[in-house]
Structure 1
Amino acid sequence: MRVALFATCVNDALHPSTAIATVRLLERLGVEVDFPTAQSCCGQPQFNTGYRRACEPLLRRTARAFAGYDHVVTPSGSCVAMVRDNYPRIGARAAAEGRGTALADLAGELAPRVYELTEFLTDVLGVEDVGAYFPHPVTYHPSCHGLRVLGLGERPLRLLRAVKGLELVELPGAEECCGFGGTFAVKNPAVSAAMAEDKIRSALATGARVLCGADNSCLLHLDGTLRRRGDALRPLHLAEILASTESDPWTPGPEREDLG
């Protein structure tokens, strides 16, 4: 089984520890992971802002970078949604405009092979207990793309419940958007900030030490709110929790602060 890591540009630039944790976790489970260096942005910011034609070169680049792999795994539901839901739309539009089926063919070949991390663990590897150890109270925020587009459902929660030492605390209003929404946060900053405040208040009410998520873009947004407030709650990607074991415990990367 040939597996490639799609790190995503947010993780590469701001949260490299999440990509590293994903590789550590998969290798611990016996998966050999490659990292195609030709990968770049999937084009989601351009697509969501309305620059659909500008996404086409990125679709081609992504499809070529991951050609030949059985599975492409990424710790980002929003990027998976871009590839699986929007790449076929880009290809279909190009074909409808009389520009041939090349983009549609690339999208159709790539999309079924791309998995969000929790999907890959539960649906492909068939595991829920990954041997993790994380002795902290945690609450989980389901990001919109994973929740509404991919339908991840209980997958992340089943994985968290199997982590030794972890106390999973239900997040009130979990299905409400955190307010990030990519360029929505830039175009509508006041509304975005108010939504983040609502989400943070709900998370703080749980008494958890860690606010877990499966998309670092949303966690980055929420972390900004937490830092401005001076709250002790720490956002942390699910991959970093699942990669932590008793013999190899989680330690903060350069972009993290300790839980202590």
Structure 2
Amino acid sequence: MTVDLFVPCFIDQLYPETAFNMIKLLKKAGVTVEYNPEQTCCGQPAYNSGYWNESKNLAHKFVKDFPGEHFIVSPSASCTGFIKNYYGDLFNNEDSDYENHLKLKERLFELTDFLVNELKYIDFGASFHHKVCYHDACTALREYGIKREPRLLLSKVKGLELIEMEDTNTCCGFGGTFVTKFKAISAAMTEQKVEHALNTGAEYIISTESSCLLNIESYIKKNNLPIKPIHIADILASGWNSQ
């Protein structure tokens, strides 16, 4: 099986190691990975800010950047959920890429969904001897629809103890442009999220979303707190060597 890799902006610019770890996971699962270096943003930030024409231009480009029949896999439910659910708002029935989008969204998967439900590959032989808690990002939970999949994968990691925090499915305060438009509210939400994580005694807070982790990390570093954010792909790729 061959898959196309979709690397979102946050990971491309700030957490490239997560993308490399995703490749490591897919290869161990027996998948051939291809990457189109011409890919860019999916258009979500522009869409959420009301710039629909600009977002539509990026949507057209995205569809053209991922032609063919391969599965498309990404370490982000936020971007994949946006493409699946909102490109239809950008393309009308007469648009040249409308039908292409309908076909593309059936091939598009968030990483944990793809591993669990498509490949049926859940045990990578990973080891991570720490207490952790898991943050259900808003987009992952409500727009893409994953909850069981990340936890199933984490349950197979040797030495990992998952402790559920209070209100795990509430927003961390990022919300795209929300974090800049409503700073005080966002900061209070982030503080509450990190407090819930600290109350579990966990050493790490895990998520599928690098944007959430970036927001949480900024609060943790500012307050010098004893917990670290980490992407689930980085956990699953730990404790074993690629071939």
**TM more than 0.5:** yes
Structure 2: segments with no counterpart, 5+ residues: none
| 1:25 alignment partner in structure 2 | 25
Helix, strand or coil for the counterpart of 1:102?
coil
Which structure 2 residues correspond to residues 29-178 of structure 1 after superposition, within 5 A?
A: 29-92=29-92, 95=93, 100-178=94-172
Q: Is the 8 A contact 2:179 2:186 kept in 1?
A: yes
Find the aligned partners of 1:18 and 1:207 in 2 and give their Cα distance.
Answer: 25
Helix, strand or coil for the counterpart of 1:34?
strand
Give me the TM-score of the superposition, normalised by structure 1.
0.90
Cα deviation digits, residues 34-67 of structure 1 (max 9, x gap):
1111110000000111111111111111111111
Query: What's the RMSD between the two structures over aligned residues?
Result: 1.2
Find the aligned partners of 2:55 and 2:241 in 1 and give their Cα distance.
Answer: 43
Give me the TM-score of the superposition, normalised by structure 2.
0.96
Cα deviation digits, residues 181-222 of structure 1 (max 9, x gap):
000111111111110000000000011111100000000000
- Change over 3 Å in CA distance of 1:4–1:247 after alignment to 2: closer
Which structure 2 residues correspond to residues 1-20 of structure 1 after superposition, within 5 A?
A: 1-20=1-20
Helix, strand or coil for the counterpart of 2:132?
strand
> What is the aligned counterpart of 2:211 among 214, 217, 236?
217
Cα deviation digits, residues 86-140 of structure 1 (max 9, x gap):
1122113xx4xxxx32132232121111100011001110122222111111110
Helix, strand or coil for the counterpart of 2:91?
helix
Give, in angstroms, the shift of residue 69 of structure 1: 4.1
Q: Is the 8 A contact 1:2 1:69 kept in 2?
A: no
Which residue identity lines up with residue 213 of structure 2 in the other structure? Answer: L
Structure 1: segments with no counterpart, 5+ residues: 249-260
Q: Is the 8 A contact 2:63 2:97 kept in 1?
A: no
| 1:258 alignment partner in structure 2 | none
Q: Is the 8 A contact 1:141 1:212 kept in 2?
A: yes
Find the aligned partners of 1:155 and 1:227 in 2 and give their Cα distance.
Answer: 29
Find the aligned partners of 2:239 and 2:30 in 1 and give their Cα distance.
Answer: 16
Q: Is the 8 A contact 2:203 2:227 kept in 1?
A: yes
Give, in angstroms, the shift of residue 82 of structure 1: 1.2
